Amino acid sequence: MIGKKMEGALNEQIREELGSAYLYLAMAGHFAAEGWDGMAGWMRVQAAEELEHAMRLFDHVVERGGRVKLHALAEPEAKWASPLAAFHAAYKHEQHITACIHGLVELAQKENDHAAAAMLQWFVSEQVEEEDHTLKAVQLLERVGSEGRGLVMADRELGRRVAEKD
């Protein structure tokens, strides 16, 4: 049986993960409207991953006899000044999610919730990967600049990203 504090915190993290998917879908829509199909595809893959993360948390709460409570999502931004600005925002957002996961790990330890602590270790590792992927996209866009062929090539490169299988 899951404790009430952990149940509430995991429900909040489900909101964070769904909010992440919402943000990345907004970015995908922005990029699609601007004609950056590769970057739009990158963000669509990212949004799908965030939905998977939310469901992993959802299933954990249910499997432990808890109740899932879905919270309202804030409307995400819909436009960014440049591809680099959008990816900077994505990187900053991933750092926020990492901090949230670390807080959950600390709560699981404090509550002696070994099942949650074990499940959350997957998220700790996943966030290392999430930050790395996003930072590499930022670095690529910083190198190529905001105009010209380099940006077209970066769009093509980012568009090669495909969903990974667990």
For each of the domains in the chain, give its residue range(s) and CATH number, in order of start. 4-158 (1.20.1260.10)
Rounded to 10 degrees, the C-alpha dihedral 46/52/102/77 comes to: 40
pLDDT of residue 72 exceeding 70, the answer is yes
pLDDT of residue 166 exceeding 60, the answer is no
**Which amino acid, 145?**
G
**Which amino acid, 132?**
D
Residues 6+ apart with CB under 8 A from 70: 11, 14, 15, 18
**Which amino acid, 110?**
K
The pLDDT of residue 100 is 98
For residue 73 the two structure tokens come to 């999502």
**Which amino acid, 1?**
M
pTM value? 0.94
Contact 20, 107 (CB under 8 A): no
pLDDT of residue 146 exceeding 90, the answer is no
CA distance 134 to 15: 21
Q: Is 125 helix (H, G, I), strand (E, B) or coil?
A: helix
CA distance 40 to 113: 39
Q: What is the band of 163 on the pLDDT scale with cuts at 50, 70, 90?
A: confident
Q: How many CB atoms lie within 10 A of CB 98?
A: 17
The pLDDT of residue 17 is 98
